[in-house]
Amino acid sequence: MGRRNDPGAPRGVRVELRSAGVELDGTTLLEPVSLSVPAGGTLVLRGANGSGKSTLLRLVSGLRLPTSGEVTVDGAAPAPRRRAFRRLVTGTVEPPLLARDLTLGEHVALVATTWGTPVRDARTAAGALLERLGIANLAHRFPHELSSGQTQLASLATVLVRPASLLLLDEPEQRLDADRTAVVAELLAERREEGATVLVATHSTPLEDALGGDVLRLAAVTADVPGQDVGPGAEDLTLDGGTADA
Ligand SMILES: Nc1ncnc2c1ncn2[C@@H]1O[C@H](COP(=O)(O)OP(=O)(O)OP(=O)(O)O)[C@@H](O)[C@H]1O
């Protein structure tokens, strides 16, 4: 192929946090966390509402900077302004941007083309993915003509249709029934088998079990005032399997 935009085969990237935490105006968003996910690894983030799962994913995506510690993806700080970094990373950390005048099928195919897939192949890939997600029959619908669960599936389709080395999914099970959640787990497992690194924040035990990666349980943030004892820190974060390496 050799095109400049050749999507190529995905190559996983290593993700590391070294005592990375976030405080904002006296509020703790994420207690300092240290972890290392090797290229091709899977890490499942669990924890109560407000424990910092989304914040951690935003650190890895570069949408938020740590106020303490360090975050690296493939050995460098996340740099979402750089196309080379954006090329590595896909996910649902940001809300999906939906165009009022594009159908579901057009949205998904469009995303694939922006990452170098030729239009015909992009349409085929979009159709196949929508079929897997059980919404191929909705390909001609506009965004406002979808149910909330269908909108979630559409969002996941735009995330999964493009090549990426790192997938960041924030509660992909939201608004999905058990069967669709299982399909999402299968799709993520396939991406991992292709070599991608996968980080998933979830409240779903079936999804956690289906993904089968290591699990990091974030402790609830217990205080808002900096300088005081804010409760559990990184030492209190338990990683199932007994190692910080996923
Ligand atoms: N922009 C912000 N300003 C102030 N506090 C924030 C901001 N964003 C998040 N927080 C706080 O940071 C903490 C962590 O939020 P985060 O969204 O990371 O948690 P979460 O584990 O993903 O929660 P959930 O399971 O409810 O999605 C929460 O207490 C939240 O209120």
17, 28, 53, 216, best to mutate for ligand 1 pocket (most atoms within 8 Å of CB): 53
Residue whose CA is closest, atom 8 of ligand 1? 29
Determine which helix (DSSP H) or strand (DSSP E) holds 17, and give its type and residue range: strand 15-24
Quick check: CB of 49 below 6 Å from ligand 1?
Answer: yes
The candidate with the shortest Cα–Cα distance to 198, out of 182, 184, 211, 181, is: 211
| pLDDT tens-digit profile, the chain (246 residues) | 333 344 454 678 999 999 999 999 999 999 999 999 999 999 999 999 999 999 999 999 999 999 999 999 999 999 999 999 999 999 999 888 789 999 999 999 999 999 989 999 999 999 999 999 999 999 999 999 999 999 999 999 999 999 999 999 999 999 999 999 999 999 999 999 999 999 999 999 999 999 998 999 999 876 544 443 333 344 333 343 333 444
Q: Which atom of ligand 1 is nearest to the CA of 218?
A: 21
113: number of Cβ within 10 Å: 19
Q: Domains of the chain: which residue ranges?
A: 15-95+164-240
**How far is Cα 241 from Cα 218, in angstroms, rounded to an integer?**
15
Residue whose CA is closest, atom 28 of ligand 1? 50
Q: What is the CATH T-level fold of the domain 15-95+164-240, as seen in this structure?
A: Rossmann fold (3.40.50)
What sign does the dihedral 95-101-104-110 (CA atoms) show? Answer: negative
Q: Are 216 and 239 in contact (CB under 8 A)?
A: yes
> 49 C-alpha to center of ligand 1: Å?
8
> 28 C-alpha to center of ligand 1: Å?
9
